[in-house]
Structure 1
C-alpha cells in the first residue's frame, strides 16, 4: 500500500515537536516550533483530517505500565497450513479476552503472529490453550516466545532523519553497525541496577490493583487508542460505549491518577506509508550473549529512526521493525555476520489488527484481572469449536 501524502516543512516541524513531547499542549508546541498557537492548531487539525486521507497523519497512544497493572506481554507464532486454520486463528484473536495484536506472517513459519497482554503468572494458560488447539487440528504448531519485560527497547520514527527534498532516509545500516559500541563499566552497573530495581522494588507487580477498578480499565483503554483527546471527548465515549458516567471533577481526578500511575510512556505513530515504511518484519535471532548485549546497547545509545521493538534474553533476541523495503537486505546481511541463527518473517500489514484493554477482564470484587482456566482457556475453546463447526469444519 502506497500513499501520496507529503508534508510541508511547517507540518514536519510540528510532528517533530510532538515526537519530542507527545503530551505537549498547543502553547508548548507553539513555543518549540516558534509558530503562533493558532497556526499550530490549524496544522494539527489538518494532520488529523480523515476526509481526504484514509487515516490521520499521526496518532499518539499511551503504553500501559504493565508492571504496575500486574500484566505481561506474551508473543506467539502459530503455524497454519490452510485458509481454514487462518480463519480459526482470526476468530481466536477476537474471542480471547487478552489479545492485543494479530497479523498474518510469512517466512520461517507461515501463519499468525499473536501478542497477548495477560495477568502475570498465567502463561501456562496460553500454553494450555495452544496445546489444545494443536490437538484438535486447528493449528499445525506454535512457538511461545519468552523474553519478559526487563529488556525491551522501543524506538520511534525520527523525522529529523527524513530528507524532505529527496523523500528518502538519511540512514545507513552499514554505518550504524560499524559504530564501535563497548559495554563500559558504567553500562554494566546501570544494567545491573535497573534489573535489581525491577526485582527488588518495594512495589510488587500489580500494586495499583488495590484501588484500580473496571471503569479505570475503560479509561486507560481510551488512552491506548488516542491519548491526545480532551477529557470531555473521553467522557462522552465512555458514556456511549461503556455506559460509564463521571462528573467533570471526578473524572479529572481519576484521569490524573491513572496517567500518573498506570501509563509508562507515550508513543507517536506517524503514517508509515508517507515515509516508505510499508514493510513490517519480525526477526528472531540467536548468538553469543556479548553480541546480543552489544546490539542492545547500540540501540539504546544510538536509536534507529524507525518504529521498532527489540526484546532480548541471554543469547536470544526479538526485533519487530517497520522499514523501507530497500533496508531489509542491509540489516539481514549485518545480522547474519553476528548471529548463529536467524528466523525472518514478513508481517502482512493488511491483516494487522490491534486491540486495547477490555474492561470486562477486571474483577472489581477481587481487585484483580480475571485469570481462571475457564476464562482464558475453556471459554475460548468453546467459542472456537462453535465457530469451526458453524463456518468451516465438522467435528
Structure 2
C-alpha cells in the first residue's frame, strides 16, 4: 500500500462519515482518486465498512454478554447456529486457551427479552451443548467500561512495525476519566421509533457509509417521490442522537495484527481504574475493549505478536492472577440490527417467548 493510500485510510478512520471530497482535500489528492482508492480498499477488504457505536438505551435496548464454555466442536457449532437464528445477536466469536474452549456471544435486545435468552442458554446447557455460562459485564461506559480505536499513526510502513513503548505508557500520569457526557446521553430517555426507523437502523448498522438514496431504495421507498428524501433526512437526524460515534472496521491482517487475547483478571480496584484511565487517554495504539468487574477487569485486544508478550507482561505485573484466552477472529461474526424485531402494532421491540426462545431453538432442532 502506497503512502498516500495509507494516509487516506488514516483520515477515514479519523472521520468515518466524511465524504470522499473532504478526505481528498485533507490528503491532498483529487476527489475521483480518493473515491477510487476507497472503493479499491473496500474491494480488497483492507477495510470492511463503517458501523455506528450505538447508545442502545436510547433505542430501548440493552447489551448482554456471555462466555459459553463447551466440551465438543459439535456443541460449538450448535451454539453458532443458535446465534444465527436468534433475532437479537450482535456478535459471536470462538475462544480457546488452557482448559477452556467455547464462544463469546453478545446480544442487543430489549430488557424484557433477557429472561428468554437466559432460559434458552439453560436449555442448551441441559441438553449438553453448554458446559458453563459466564456473564461478562456490559461495555456501556456508564459502568466503567471503555474501548480504544487503533491508531494507524503508530504503524511504521517503512519498517512494517507498530511503534509503542509500553513502559513509558504505563509510567505516564493519567488523568481521571470524565463520563459525564455518556451519563447525560444515557439519561436523555428513549427516542420514539417506528418500523421505518427500524429499517433505517438495520441499513446503517450494516454499513453507515451508504448514500442516503441507496438506503432509501434498500428499504423499499421511491427516492423520486416528493418529500421522501426530506423525511428520510429528518429521521436520520433523529436516529443520530443514538449514535455515540462511527467506527471503521479494518482487516488488520494487512498490518501484521494477528493476536486477539481475551484476559480475565483479578486486580485491585485502584489498579483497574488506573488501567481504564490510561486507555481512555487515547494513546494506546491497538483496538481493545475493557470492562470493569467486581474483582478486576476483562480486557480484549488485537495486536501483533511483538506486542502480545508486552501485554501479558503488563497484566502479570499489575494483576493478582489472570486467565488468558484467545479470540478466534477468523471465526467471528458481527450482526446488524434486524428490522423484523420491531413490532409495528405495538410500536416496540418484540420480546415474547415464542419469538425470542421457541423459534430460535426450534429452528436448530432443540425444541
| Match in the other structure for 1:155 | 148
Deviation at 1:19, TM superposition (A): 1.6
Structure 1 Cα separation of the partners of residues 296 and 357 of structure 2? 29
Tell me if 1:220 matches 2:211: no
Q: How does 1:81-120 map to 2 (within 5 A)?
A: 81-108=71-98, 109-120=100-111
Q: 2:279 aligns with which of 294, 299, 303?
A: 299
- Alpha carbons of structure 1 residues 245 and 261: separation in structure 2 relative to 1, 3 Å: farther
Tell me if 1:229 matches 2:194: no
Deviation at 1:214, TM superposition (A): 2.2
Q: How does 1:219-258 map to 2 (within 5 A)?
A: 219-239=200-220, 247=225, 248-250=228-230, 252-258=232-238
Secondary structure (helix, strand or coil) at the match of 1:30 reads helix
| Match in the other structure for 2:7 | 13
- Judge which range, 109-118 or 125-134, deviates more: 125-134
Deviation at 1:18, TM superposition (A): 1.3
Say if 2:264 and 2:297, in contact at 8 Å, map to a contact too: yes
Segments ≥4 residues shifted beyond 6 Å: none
- Alpha carbons of structure 1 residues 34 and 336: separation in structure 2 relative to 1, 3 Å: same
| Match in the other structure for 2:245 | 265
| Match in the other structure for 1:170 | 163
Tell me if 1:279 matches 2:233: no
| Match in the other structure for 1:393 | none
Secondary structure (helix, strand or coil) at the match of 2:11 reads helix
Q: How does 1:352-391 map to 2 (within 5 A)?
A: 352-384=332-364, 386=365
- Alpha carbons of structure 1 residues 56 and 180: separation in structure 2 relative to 1, 3 Å: closer
Alpha-carbon displacement from aligned partner over 1:266-317 (angstroms, at most 9, x marks no partner): 0012221110112222122221111010001001114311221222244432
Deviation at 1:219, TM superposition (A): 1.3
Q: How does 1:19-38 map to 2 (within 5 A)?
A: 19-38=13-32
Q: 1:143 aligns with which of 107, 126, 134?
A: 134
Structure 1 unaligned residues grouped into runs of 5+: 1-6, 390-395
Alpha-carbon displacement from aligned partner over 1:122-158 (angstroms, at most 9, x marks no partner): 4333322212211122221111113362233222221
- Alpha carbons of structure 1 residues 57 and 196: separation in structure 2 relative to 1, 3 Å: closer
Question: What is the TM-score with the length of structure 1 in the denominator?
Answer: 0.84
Structure 2 Cα separation of the partners of residues 303 and 215 of structure 1? 40
Say if 1:105 and 1:346, in contact at 8 Å, map to a contact too: yes
| Match in the other structure for 1:348 | 328
| Match in the other structure for 1:4 | none
Secondary structure (helix, strand or coil) at the match of 2:260 reads strand
Say if 1:147 and 1:313, in contact at 8 Å, map to a contact too: no
Deviation at 1:40, TM superposition (A): 2.0
Alpha-carbon displacement from aligned partner over 1:152-209 (angstroms, at most 9, x marks no partner): 322222111110100111113333223233x5xxx37x34x4576367x3x33xx11x
| Match in the other structure for 2:289 | 309
Structure 1 Cα separation of the partners of residues 276 and 294 of structure 2? 11
Say if 2:257 and 2:302, in contact at 8 Å, map to a contact too: yes
Say if 2:147 and 2:279, in contact at 8 Å, map to a contact too: no
Deviation at 1:351, TM superposition (A): 1.1
Q: 2:184 aligns with which of 197, 206, 223?
A: 197
Question: What is the TM-score with the length of structure 2 in the denominator?
Answer: 0.90
Structure 1 Cα separation of the partners of residues 52 and 266 of structure 2? 31
CA RMSD of aligned residues (A): 2.3
Deviation at 1:364, TM superposition (A): 1.7
Say if 1:156 and 1:269, in contact at 8 Å, map to a contact too: no
- Alpha carbons of structure 1 residues 166 and 338: separation in structure 2 relative to 1, 3 Å: same
Structure 2 Cα separation of the partners of residues 327 and 267 of structure 1? 23
Aligned residues: 361
Deviation at 1:69, TM superposition (A): 0.6
